[in-house]
Amino acid sequence: SQQGEEDPQALSIQEGENATMNCSYKTSINNLQWYRQNSGRGLVHLILIRSNEREKHSGRLRVTLDTSKKSSSLLITASRAADTASYFCATDGHDMRFGAGTRLTVKP
Amino acid sequence: EAEVAQSPRYKITEKSQAVAFWCDPISGHATLYWYRQILGQGPELLVQFQDESVVDDSQLPKDRFSAERLKGVDSTLKIQPAELGDSAMYLCASSLAGLAYEQYFGPGTRLTVT
């Protein structure tokens, strides 16, 4: 069973716009991670945020974590066509659980 | 840059046949994971190894699936007999030491059962 739930399921934006994806989870965690998957490929790690952190940045990525609401968000600023991919959150809890993902399409 | 290797990349097999997948993690990574990913869904953990020991195989259909990591390095995932519902992408990942660290994924094996 999957613990993380991403929202929205699909998102379509124009190049240059910002993209925001949300993740909700059910049980307590030690850390939450975001991954990207290009079509038919393996997943690539983007960022890890620990339960005692509230915000983390990496290049054009900004991740927030609200443990009281059991939710996280991933913001991609100034999106590019190459950002087109599926994005997954993963929580550790008892074991690593991935959500169903947000499918992001960035139109040139 | 070190990568996780998987083979084969694609496998077509008939139902009731046996099939095996191989994974070679990044050198020095103690933790190895096998996931199954059905199209349109997120990866589902099948088994997690710490060195040569199984840490979690609660989602592994043990009547037909088996996994081993002899000597704590590379790993093999086997399905016998394969069923139509096993058609999926099988992903291998490794991490330095457990869930507190990022996972590095291989390219996956796309299995089609006919």
Tell me how close the Cα of A53 comes to any Cα of chain B, in angstroms.
14
Average pLDDT score over residue span B33-61: 93
Which chain B residues are closer than 8 Å to A101 by Cβ?
41-42
Predicted confidence at residue A98, as pLDDT, reads: 86
Q: Do A41 and B110 touch (CB under 8 A)?
A: no
Tell me how close the Cα of A74 comes to any Cα of chain B, in angstroms.
17
| Homologous superfamily (CATH) for B5-101 | Immunoglobulins (2.60.40.10)
**Portion of chain B with pLDDT greater than 90, in percent:** 85
For residue A1, is pLDDT > 70? no
Average pLDDT of every residue of chain A: 91
Mutate to test the interface with A, among B33, B38, B54, B102 (most CBs of A within 10 A): B102
Predicted confidence at residue A42, as pLDDT, reads: 85
Nearest CA in chain A to B106: A42
> What residues of chain A have any CB closer than 8 angstroms to a CB in chain B?
2, 4, 30-31, 33, 35, 40-45, 48, 88, 92, 94-101
Average pLDDT score over residue span A57-75: 96
Model confidence at A91, pLDDT cuts 50, 70, 90, reads: confident
Structure-token pair, residue A97: 């659980």
Query: Can you tell me the distance from the alpha carbon of A56 to that of B58, in angstroms, rounded to the nearest whole number?
Result: 32
- Domain ranges for chain B, please list them: 5-101
Query: Can you tell me the distance from the alpha carbon of B22 to that of B108, in angstroms, rounded to the nearest whole number?
Result: 10
Look at residues A57, A62, A83, A85 and name the one whose alpha carbon lies nearest to residue A73: A62
Task: Please say whether the beta carbons of B31 and B96 come within 8 A.
Answer: yes
Find the CB nearest B42 among A30, A42, A98.
A98
Find the CB nearest A95 among B40, B45, B107.
B45
User: Could you tell me which residue, A1 or A52, shows the higher pLDDT?
Assistant: A52
Predicted confidence at residue A28, as pLDDT, reads: 86
Which chain B residues are closer than 8 Å to A44 by Cβ?
105
Query: Can you tell me the distance from the alpha carbon of B109 to that of B89, in angstroms, rounded to the nearest whole number?
Result: 6
HEC letters along chain B:
CCCCEEECCEEEECCCCCEEEEEECCCCCCEEEEEEECCCCCCEEEEEEECCEEEECCCCCCCCEEEECHHHCCEEEEECCCCHHHCEEEEEEEECCCCCCCCEECCCEEEEEC
Whose structure tokens read 């059905």?
B38
Tell me how close the Cα of B55 comes to any Cα of chain A, in angstroms.
10
Task: Please say whether the beta carbons of A96 and A107 come within 8 A.
Answer: no
| Chain A interface includes B93 (CB < 8 A) | yes
Based on the number of CB atoms within 10 Å of its own CB, is A39 exposed (0-12), middle (13-18) or buried (19 or more)? exposed
Average pLDDT of every residue of chain B: 94
Model confidence at A92, pLDDT cuts 50, 70, 90, reads: confident
The domains located in chain A, with CATH, are 5-107 (2.60.40.10)
